[in-house]
Structures are given as structure tokens and as C-alpha cells.
Amino acid sequence: MTEVRRTAAITGVHAWAPDNVVTNARLEQMMDTTDEWITARTGIKERRWMEEIGQATSDLAVKAVEGLLKKTGTDPMDIELLICCTATPDMAFPATANIITDKLGMNRTAGFDLSAACSGFLFGVNTAARFIESGMYKKVIVVGADKMTSIMDLQERSTAIIFGDAGGAVLLEPDTDGYGIIDGIMCSDGIGRTYLCQKAGGSLNPASAETIARKEHYIHQEGKAVFKFAVTNMAGVAEEIMERNGLTAGDVQWLVPHQANKRIIDATRERTALPEEKVMVNIQRYGNTTNASIPLCLHEWEPQLNRGDNLIFAAFGGGFTWGSLYVRWAYDGAKALNLSDVKPGQLNLIP
Ligand code: UT7
């Protein structure tokens, strides 16, 4: 008798971004940059910034999780585990996961944060899958959220143009029909830790007047070096997961890349030989939202996703970290959203 494999299927997705749109034209007023430069080097036209005082990463996450619970008709008390993937926690501790569950009254849910920079959401889904496959949990939420503006020097043109704020979440549940997270690859190499980091505020360089004067509480990114590693590794790992699962470009319905830079996305697409129309790209509207970028894509494309679609997720981030997932989509998005007639290109757009 063949043993039935229990997998973790994504059974719902939701995302949220602040309605405050920051265009390249506004950045032109704030710093020495141009719409042409930003568009050509990154593909970004606008991003959303959370500029209200007192708002944090947990607020982005709460909006995403609230929407997810509502959409999927899930009782918050049934969620057994919530993993919050973030590079911008509300505080160093406690975990932002605990703040999210408290804000949503989920006091029976276990929670922890996962830190893997821009690969965090992908690592989080892969981790959550193991809890479900082992039989330990039946309902797990993975939320990726980042208030990147909280660690950005808003006057510094090499980073301020790239990042945006957002949150996105998925619900994972067991499946025995061959849908869900089929395979996952997670990689890291500490050689990258100096190229993309936040130098102060941790135990090595606790925050002080000096670290603030040196602006070490902001993101430090050596863009060119990060770019080179990102292109090679994100494209390489997407190709590897396809190869080891016997998938060719024709078998894959969607590539879901972390939205780091349009040029990095293009390199990944070329390496996997997928046509442009099979690649989720919304970097032009949200910029790089770090842990939220993959669920933000899934949310926008949800009406076009069908049961049985093969999806390849790919990400690269600080650390360095990178990875890929092979996901067999478990439900018809349009049906779940009660949309009777989905036209190609119709997205589940955030207002
Ligand atoms: O999310 C995962 C991790 N992050 C990434 O994957 C990001 C990877 N890196 C990148 O996306 C790119 O390196 C950037 C978008 C950050 C920068 O693009 P680049 O093509 O690598 O530019 P660069 O840093 O080499 O700068 C080229 C020139 C420099 O001027 P000089 O020295 O050639 O005179 C910069 O000073 O462009 C200048 N520059 C700008 N000019 C106008 C840098 N930023 C700007 C700007 N506007 N915003």
C-alpha cells in the first residue's frame, strides 16, 4: 500500500499596503534623483510609505491577517501557530508575532518571528510546512510584513528609492491530494552580512548618540555587490528547484519572485526560460517590500490562480539568504473570491 503524503497547502492569501502613495516625482523633490534613473535601474514608479506616527510593522501585519481570516471564514481561535517574518520588528523583543496575536485576540495561538531579511517569507512558509507535514498543527498563518521606512534614511537616494511598506499573509492547512508546498530550498551565506545590514541597535553596537549621529540605525546597502549575488543566486535556485522536480518552463504557470529590482526579476525569468506573462511583477507599484513582496504578488494574482497550477517562488535577501519553493496551488482563486468572470490581467488590487 502506498503511503499518502501529507503536504501543507496554501488555502488563502491576503495583503495590505498603506494608501499613502509616494511617486518618483515626490522623491525628485526630496533628493538628487530622477524618475528616469529610478525606472531604468529598478523598475519602480511608486511605493507606499506608512507615515503616520505610532504605526508599526505589526499594524501592517494585522491588516493582512485580519483580511485573511475574514476571506477564508477562519475563526482566529483556530489558528495554532503564527510565524511573523520581518526585518523590522516592532521591538527587538518580544516577537512581533506576539503583538499581532494580541491585537487580534488570538491568545491561544503560538507565535514567533523569523528573520531572514527579504527571503524571510519564503523561509517562513517552508518552516510552517514542516509543522503541518509532521501533524503537529492544522492551521498555520505565515505573515510577511515590513515597515521599511522605519529603518530608511529618507534623504539617502540609494536606499530610499527602493523600499516600501506592506504586509501579506497566507493560511496553510494539510492536504493529502498532492497540492501545496511540494519542495523547498533554503540557502544562506554569512559572507553577505556586511553588504546589507543595519549596523547599530543590536548587541554589537547598541544604540547611542554616536551610532545615531553616524546614521548606523538605517539600512546599509552596497547595492552593486548585493545585486551581483542576487542575480546569480535567485536565478540559480529557481532553476535548481525546477530541475530537481522535473519541471520545464512549459510545466510552470507562475514564477513568483521577490520584488527586489526588475532587473533581478528579469534575470531569474531568463534563467527559468519563462515568458514575461507568466511572471508576477508589481514592483512598479509597491517597490521592494522585503518580507511582504511575495504574498503581495499572490494576493494580486489570486483571481487568476487555479487548482493545480505549478508556482515557483524565488527570493534573495540580506545575510545573504536565498531560496525557492515549488508550490502546487490548491484552489481556484476566482471561485474563492466569488468572481464569476475573471479577465486576463484582472488583479485583486489593493485600493
Ligand atoms: O531585496 C533584496 C536585497 N536588495 C537587492 O537586491 C538590491 C540590489 N541592488 C540594486 O538593486 C541596485 O544595486 C541599486 C538599485 C541599489 C542601485 O543600482 P546600480 O545600478 O547598482 O547603481 P550604483 O549603486 O552602481 O550607482 C550608479 C550611479 C552612482 O553614480 P556614479 O558613482 O556612477 O557617478 C550613484 O551615485 O548612480 C548613482 N545613484 C543615483 N543616481 C540617481 C545611486 N542612486 C541614485 C539615485 N538617483 N537614486
Q: Mean pLDDT over residues 161-183, rounded? A: 98
* Three-state secondary-structure class, residue 127: helix
Position 268 pLDDT exceeds 90 = yes
Give yes or no for a contact between 7 and 133, defined as CB atoms under 8 angstroms apart: yes
Q: Mean pLDDT over residues 234-244, rounded? A: 97
Q: Pull the grid cell for residue 29.
A: 523633490
Supply the pTM of this predicted model. 0.97
Cα 21 from Cα 164, distance rounded (Å): 10
Query: Residue whose CA is closest, atom 42 of ligand 1?
Result: 33
Query: Residue whose CA is closest, atom 17 of ligand 1?
Result: 223
Residue 99's closest CA among 69, 143, 157? 143
Write out pLDDT tens, residues 104-122.
999 999 999 999 999 999 9
The rounded Å distance from CA 221 to ligand 1 centre is 10
Cα 165 from Cα 16, distance rounded (Å): 9
Nearest-atom index, ligand 1, CA of 318: 3
- pLDDT at position 350: 83
Residue 1's pLDDT band (boundaries 50, 70, 90)? low
Q: Pull the grid cell for residue 109.
A: 495561538
221 phi and psi angles, rounded to 5 deg: -135, 125
The rounded Å distance from CA 231 to ligand 1 centre is 14
Cβ atoms < 10 Å from Cβ of 265: 24
Stretch among 12-21, 52-61, 331-340 having the lowest mean pLDDT = 331-340
Kindly list the structural domains of the chain, giving each domain's residue range(s) and its CATH number in brackets, ordered by start: 7-180 (3.40.47.10), 183-336 (3.40.47.10)
Write out pLDDT tens, residues 121-169.
999 999 999 999 999 999 999 999 999 999 999 989 999 999 999 999 9
Q: Distance of CA 206 to CAs 113, 216, 282, Å? A: 21, 10, 36
Instruction: State the catalytic residues.
Output: 118, 258, 288
What residue type is 24 in one-letter code?
Answer: N
Maximum Cα–Cα distance for the chain, whole Å? 68
Compute the residue count for the chain.
351
Nearest-atom index, ligand 1, CA of 263: 11
The rounded Å distance from CA 35 to ligand 1 centre is 13
Write out pLDDT tens, residues 53-100.
999 999 999 999 999 999 999 999 999 999 999 999 999 999 999 999
- pLDDT at position 276: 96
The rounded Å distance from CA 230 to ligand 1 centre is 14
Nearest-atom index, ligand 1, CA of 159: 16
